[in-house]
Structure 1
């Protein structure tokens, strides 16, 4: 069996390779929409007697909000001296897990596509390649389910902590406040959508990879032998 590189783009036109290409783009969009995010909210402090003050809070990936300083120590707001105050919550574990899965999926798709277009003759002549591909594809489908669900929950915590209720809770009701300018979190919402989209794509691709494995071919051969063994029915 020859194992050298043979460029053949036909696998990309088949579901096996085409879906892998779609997975590559979907994984790239998943981590690209949240990896470099930076947002800024403007908070109005209602001091009474018609006097208002404003605060600006900037939060970025990976959303360790409990390290984001909202009010500096000994700052004077609404004629009150306040201690250092931070936002609430920490969504770094969920978003970093999500990004890690997306980056690993992105890299695996690149490797798989290289094998498909250059070493498909080796891939289909061996049992190890398709079986390994199927197990990794199934594992990524499960990981997309877990990390997307975790990041969707983490994003809700980010929205709450940077909203009016969350910031007023962080200020411990020392002054009345209201968020008047919200940073757009559309890209973060899109990242969650791509996460669950990847779950669907990888789950569907698992079937096409399974058809390349020896398990599927043995099952099909057994069915054909059983049909031949029955012979023609009575006339």
Structure 2
């Protein structure tokens, strides 16, 4: 069996390879739209003693409990406040999401190299298609899990940095004559997009599993037998 490199771009034009290209692109968009996020909410505090403005800047991986909302011994509305942090930690779901995106990115690169350079080796053995199928199924499941976890984590970030979350975090806001409100919100459009791309990845990987399955020995053993059973005797020539 020849195992040398044979460059052939034909598999990229077939569903098996073309979907891998789409998965590669969506993986890039997924970790790019989530991993590079920097947001800033502006909190306005209105009171009779004079208005004040607080900044809450948060970034990936969204360990909000490490984000300082009020510095120690800061005077707001004639009151000296202790150091106050935002509430919540969505790092686990965000990092899980980005890790699966990076893993998928690397998997697609390896698969595309295999398809375009070593397809003759891939199809000559049962091991390659079988492992490819199992890896595809596992990644489809992981995309479902990490996208759902990150969607929940993102909602927690929105709740913690919104007006209601800030009022619960900052005890000053519950005092009489003091009104707190988030007057400038961070643009979380890219984070919303990351969740959409997460579920899109799940759909692509689940769909790709069928085309990878067709390369396995399980499919090869099943369908030729069915076709053979369905064939009748060849009619004699007239």
Question: Smaller-chain TM-score range?
Answer: over 0.9
Specify the alignment match of 1:7 in structure 2.
Answer: 7
Deviation at 1:226, TM superposition (A): 2.1
SS of the aligned residue for 1:62 comes to: coil
Specify the alignment match of 2:67 in structure 1.
Answer: 68
Higher deviation after alignment, 102-111 or 166-175:
166-175
Specify the alignment match of 2:91 in structure 1.
Answer: 92
Deviation at 1:83, TM superposition (A): 1.1
Deviation at 1:113, TM superposition (A): 0.1
Specify the alignment match of 2:227 in structure 1.
Answer: 224
Deviation at 1:192, TM superposition (A): 0.4
Q: State how far apart, in whole Å, the 2-side matches of 1:57 and 1:129 are.
A: 50
Q: State how far apart, in whole Å, the 2-side matches of 1:73 and 1:133 are.
A: 55
1:157-198 deviations in Å (ceiling 9; x for gaps): 001111100011100225421000101000000000000000
Cα-Cα RMSD: 1.4
Deviation at 1:224, TM superposition (A): 2.1
Deviation at 1:126, TM superposition (A): 0.6
Q: State how far apart, in whole Å, the 1-side matches of 2:46 and 2:11 are.
A: 64
Higher deviation after alignment, 171-180 or 146-155:
171-180
Specify the alignment match of 1:194 in structure 2.
Answer: 197
Deviation at 1:225, TM superposition (A): 2.9
Deviation at 1:80, TM superposition (A): 0.5
SS of the aligned residue for 1:7 comes to: coil
Specify the alignment match of 2:35 in structure 1.
Answer: 35
Structure 2: gaps spanning 5 or more residues:
none
Structure 1: gaps spanning 5 or more residues:
none
SS of the aligned residue for 1:63 comes to: coil
Deviation at 1:16, TM superposition (A): 0.3
SS of the aligned residue for 1:34 comes to: helix
Deviation at 1:74, TM superposition (A): 1.5
Specify the alignment match of 1:210 in structure 2.
Answer: 213
TM, length-normalised to structure 2: 0.94
Specify the alignment match of 1:136 in structure 2.
Answer: 135
Pairs aligned (count) = 231
Q: State how far apart, in whole Å, the 2-side matches of 1:48 and 1:219 are.
A: 79
TM, length-normalised to structure 1: 0.95
Q: State how far apart, in whole Å, the 2-side matches of 1:207 and 1:224 are.
A: 19
